[in-house]
Chains A and B, each alone.
Chain A
Amino acid sequence: MEKISVKVCTGTTCFVMGGANLQELHDLIPRKYGDKVEVSGSPCLGLCSINWEYSKAPYVKVNEAVVNEATVEKVLAEIDKQIGNN
């Protein structure tokens, strides 16, 4: 099974829209999933500027799936969903 990659945007918009609270994923994910999931930050996923009028920051990418208005719970749910699919 391939590792699931989680990328948390640490760009300006995401950070002020609640991305700062997603830092706990860094501790939480390895504890919960061990080696199955790899979590890292991204300087900017570039998603806020695409649809800037309706920005849904903060963004997190779980493999290619984008989690809008991300919270720790939403990110974990997406990971569980993808693990279930595998």
Chain B
Amino acid sequence: MFIDIACSQKRKYNQNAYGDFFASNRFPNMNRVVAVLSDGLGSGIKANILACMTSTMLLKFMENNSDIEKSCEVIMNSLPVCKVRGISYSTFSAIDCYDDGKAKIVEEGNPDFIWIRNNEVLKPEYQTIQSKDFKNRKMKVYNITLEKGDRIIFCSDGATQVAMGSKQYPLGLERSGLIKIILNKLNNESDISSKDLSDYLVKQIQYIAPNKELKDDTSILSLYCRDPRESLIFTGPPFHNEKDNYWANTFINFKGKKAISGGTTANIISRELNIPVKSHMSLSMGKLPGLSKMEGVDIVCEGILTLTKTLEYLESGKCENNAAKVLMDFMLDSDVIQFLVGAQMNKAHYDPNLPIEIEIRKNVIKKIALVLEEKYLKKVNVQFI
């Protein structure tokens, strides 16, 4: 099971900074995801600092399995005190969950999370923990087991209190109103991704606000338990030529999406499986060789130049419209990415007379794997062949 997680936010009207803060971390080797959504007191920069401190500290505490009660006391004691109100305050929702479905949720001050299974809202039991140092602060702790298809939605109170005082929503949208919007959307689009759902919900909330002006920062954190989207990228000729056929078959029989990055690699697979590969010059885009086509393969592109550019795009987040962008989108649309990296080198690539320096494939792939894991929270597996 894969936990698809995404957060969408909108700022309070006329504010430059978000007063809610979202932080998360994925531990692919432990099949674990930790995420925190915090809402800071007030709005703007002050709220942003409070929420950011709360989220990042709590995330660290949870990652290290610290006692949640003690952790929260430490956080509350370390937040700066607001000059206007004389208190320090931020609310939060936090989840620590594993791919087998076991999840621990802790909430303080935010609206109760929404747990949806088969289009029905579940009502989980919880334990209440009273803060020792702060009278009005109570935490709710849930230990639940998620199943495939389940969704969890967290929100800041900006979402449930939107349009409060209006004729249509005297008490705001409320949790019940938000649930209606979610269930309605899921009825029409049952397998919507977390990102699309959270984007949709914050947009709907903004539509509800009078003049589309939000009176408070609004955040939706969405989790969706589903099968992982797997993909395989084959790059470089295998070291032992006699194994070409084996690896070509391993590649084509892979169930998820498939990409080939490398001209020689594409030719080897084409030869071993007797599937023609067609390169259309007209598909060349920008400063990189264009894409080719092979039946049963989603992307066929050039190797090391495209991979080097893809790495640059993944690191910077900026890209141009070319084969490297296509390859980057392919990676980002997957949850689990596997690389088959052929170890045979084309010596012509390392001719010092080439006008540009060409990186060693192994190194580029290692760097891509690292950025996919650390920045994009993907599960990555690299196999050298």
User: Could you mark each residue 8-44 of chain A with 1 if its beta carbon is under 8 Å from any beta carbon of chain B, else 0?
Assistant: 1111110111011001011000000000000111111
B303: which of A12, A41, A55 is its contact (CB, 8 Å)? Answer: A12
Most chain A CB within a 10 A radius of its CB, from B266, B279, B355 = B279
A85 contacts B by Cβ under 8 Å:
no
Tell me the dominant secondary structure on chain B's binding face.
Answer: mixed
- For A20, the chain B residues whose CB sits under 8 A away are 284, 287, 289
List of B residues within 8 angstroms of A39 by Cβ: 281
Given contacts A41-B290, A43-B292, contact A13 B349 (CB under 8 A): yes
Contact A43 B277 (CB under 8 A): yes
Q: Does A48 have its Cβ within 8 Å of any Cβ on chain B?
A: yes
Chain A residue with Cβ nearest B284:
A23
Q: Knowing A10-B281, A48-B348 touch, does A43 contact B355 (C-beta < 8 A)?
A: no
Residue of A nearest to B283 (CB): A41
Question: Residue B300 at the A interface, CB < 8 A?
Answer: yes
A16 touches B346 (CB 8 A): no
Q: Write the chain B residue with the least CB distance to A29.
A: B281
- The answer to whether A13 touches B348, judged by C-beta atoms less than 8 angstroms apart, is yes
Residue among B278, B281, B283, B292 facing the most chain A CB atoms (10 A cut-off): B281
A12 in contact with B263 given A40-B281, A43-B300 (CB within 8 Å): yes
Which of A10, A48, A52 is within 8 Å of B279, CB to CB? A10
Knowing A43-B263, A43-B267, the reply to whether A16 touches B305 (Cβ < 8 A) is yes
B284 surroundings in chain A (CB, below 8 A) = 10, 20, 23, 41
In the complex, whether B302 has a CB less than 8 A from a CB of chain A is yes
A75 part of interface (Cβ distance < 8 Å): no
Which residues from A are CB-within-8-Å of B267? 43-44, 46
**Cβ-based interface call for B347 (8 A):** yes
CB of B281 within 8 A of CB of A25, answer yes
Q: How far is the CB of A52 from chain B (nearest CB, A)?
A: 4
Q: For the complex, is A86 an interface residue (Cβ under 8 Å from B)?
A: no
- Classify chain B: how many residues form its interface, as a range: 20 to 34
Cβ–Cβ contact A44 & B263, under 8 A: yes
Is B305 in contact with A12, judged by CB distance below 8 angstroms?
A: yes
A42: chain B residues within 8 A (beta carbon):
263, 279
Which residues of A are found within 8 Å of B300, using beta-carbon distances? 43
In the assembled complex, the Cα of A19 lies from the Cα of B354 at a distance in Å of 12
Instruction: Please encode chain B, from 341 to 357, with 1 for each CB lying within 8 Å of some chain A CB and 0 for all others.
Output: 00000111101001110
How far, in whole Å, are A20 and B285 apart by their CA atoms in the complex? 10
Interchain CB contact under 8 A, B281 and A11: no
Decide yes or no whether A57 CB sits under 8 A from chain B: yes
- B119 close to chain A: CB less than 8 A: no
Give the residues in chain B near A23, CB-CB below 8 Å: 281, 284
Identify the closest chain B residue to A44 (Cβ): B263
Chain A residue at minimal CB-CB distance from B344: A49
Known contacts A43-B267, A49-B264, A49-B348; A15 and B281 CB within 8 A of each other: no
If A40-B279, A43-B266, A46-B264 touch, whether A11 touches B347 (CB-CB below 8 Å) is no
Q: Does B197 contact A (CB under 8 A)?
A: no
B window 309-364: CB within 8 A of A? 346-349, 351, 354-356, 358
**Docked-complex contact A41 and B356, CB < 8 angstroms:** no
Please measure, in the bound complex, the distance between the C-alpha atom of A15 and the C-alpha atom of B262, giving whole angstroms. 12
> A15 and B346: CB pair below 8 A?
no
CB of B304 within 8 A of chain A?
yes
Chain B residues near A43: list those with CB within 8 A. 262-264, 266-267, 277, 279, 292, 300, 302
Which of B263, B300, B302, B304 has its CB near the most chain A CB atoms (within 10 A)? B263
Query: B282 interface residue, CB < 8 Å from A?
Result: yes
- In the assembled complex, the Cα of A10 lies from the Cα of B266 at a distance in Å of 12
User: How long is the Cα–Cα vector from A10 to B284 in the complex, in angstroms?
Assistant: 9
Please state if A13 and B354 are interface contacts (CB–CB under 8 Å): yes
Determine the chain B residues whose CB is within 8 A of the CB of A55 once the complex forms. 348, 351
Q: A12-B305, A20-B284 are in contact. List 6 more A-B contacts (CB 8 A).
A: A16-B355, A17-B355, A26-B282, A41-B279, A49-B347, A52-B348
Q: 8 tightest CB-CB pairs across the interface, nearest first?
A: A44-B263, A41-B279, A43-B263, A11-B263, A48-B348, A10-B289, A26-B281, A52-B348
